[in-house]
Amino acid sequence: MAQPGTVLARRVQNALRAVLPASVRLQVIKQRDATIHLRIAGRRLTAQWLQTGMPGEIRALFTSQARRSDIDIIVARKLSPGAREALSQRGIGWVDELGAAEIAIGTIVVSRTGHAALPSKRENRWTPAVLSIAEALLCDVQPTVHATHETTGLSVGACTYALRVLTEFGLLHATAGRGRRSGRQIADPDKLLAAYATEAAEIAPRPSLAVGVTWRDPVSGLADLGRRWTHQDIAWAATGSIAAAVLAPLLTSVGAAVAYVDAKTIAELDALASRSDLRPIEGGRLTLVPFPTTTTRRLARTVGGLRVAPWPRVYVDLRTTGVRGEEAADHLLEVIRGR
């Protein structure tokens, strides 16, 4: 049993203090794994920390053996709209580290909208190389300098640094100190995915260009366009809902499509669109975006005739498209885990 005062217990305590009146007394009594028992305003309550703050994690929590009927408050770094809705329907209070909260337990009533996410102090260590290596590891690339270098094309120095950073974050652990038997392993795949997804979603926005298309079937339409790009030696990969449509079908229809392409600036995106006879238009059904990492480009593969980004990147992009996207992201994760 972990003792009160661990990093996780302090995060839960700090998140609650941020939304409660200063006069309210709050004390951590004990902690067992991610379950923290507290006393708030003289009342004993149980809080549960979530890694991802997604609806699927909530469903898994409340379908466990104990049904978790003892939980009063859910705490996470950030809770998605779908997760908030699911908890409200269950009558469970919630709070996240962005200052949003909805708690109604006896005389404890809190409602806060919260703030937009701010760059964290550790974000400067989540460089594009670290994100790229994390993405590769989630795709079953071995956490060694040689394997990550061969897969991502990053320099040996960049791979060494990224693996060290992920180890310092506690996302990898060394099986031995030094020598031929030394190496790293993923400490917890769920924690690695949660950390990667959080950081990948919060990096600076990339340029994008919406273009008009007249496809009846977005999947076959993008596949046809992609074959033209491939013929022109232009790297590309579908992501978001259109990629999920072939990786883990769930949504009944796919309206808009997002494709990563080999371009870095808005000028390069515009030039690529022109070469492809695509006209930029506000609200266009196809959005072109630069590849976010080298791993996204190099590990893209063809599924069902469509070239798609690696599943962790598709998962991240789905999470940012509203409640339906969150459901599709959870379904994608279930399909990947079931293989």
- Rounded to 5 degrees, φ, ψ at 73 are -140, 135
**Residue % of the chain over a pLDDT of 70:** 89
The answer on pLDDT for 63 being more than 80 is no
Show me where the domains of the chain are located.
7-113, 121-201, 209-338
Whether 121-201 and 7-113 are alike in CATH topology: the answer is no
The answer on pLDDT for 262 being more than 70 is yes
Angle at 218 between CA 213 and CA 222, to 5 degrees: 75
pTM of the model: 0.76
Architecture of domain 7-113: 3-Layer(aba) Sandwich (3.40)
pLDDT per position as a tens digit, 129-181 = 999 999 999 999 999 999 999 999 999 999 999 999 999 999 998 765 554 44
Instruction: Let me know if domain 121-201 sits in CATH 1.10.10.10.
Output: yes
Rounded to whole angstroms, how far apart are CA atoms 111 and 104?
Answer: 8
User: Which residues, in sequence order, are CB contacts of 41 under 8 Å at separation 6+?
Assistant: 24, 25, 26, 107, 108
The answer on pLDDT for 191 being more than 70 is yes
Cβ atoms of 135 and 153 closer than 8 Å: no
The answer on pLDDT for 18 being more than 60 is yes
CATH topology of domain 209-338: Beta Polymerase; domain 2 (3.30.460)
pLDDT at 68: 60
Least confident among 28-37, 98-107, 119-128:
119-128
22 vs 12, 18, 41, CA distance in Å? Answer: 16, 9, 11
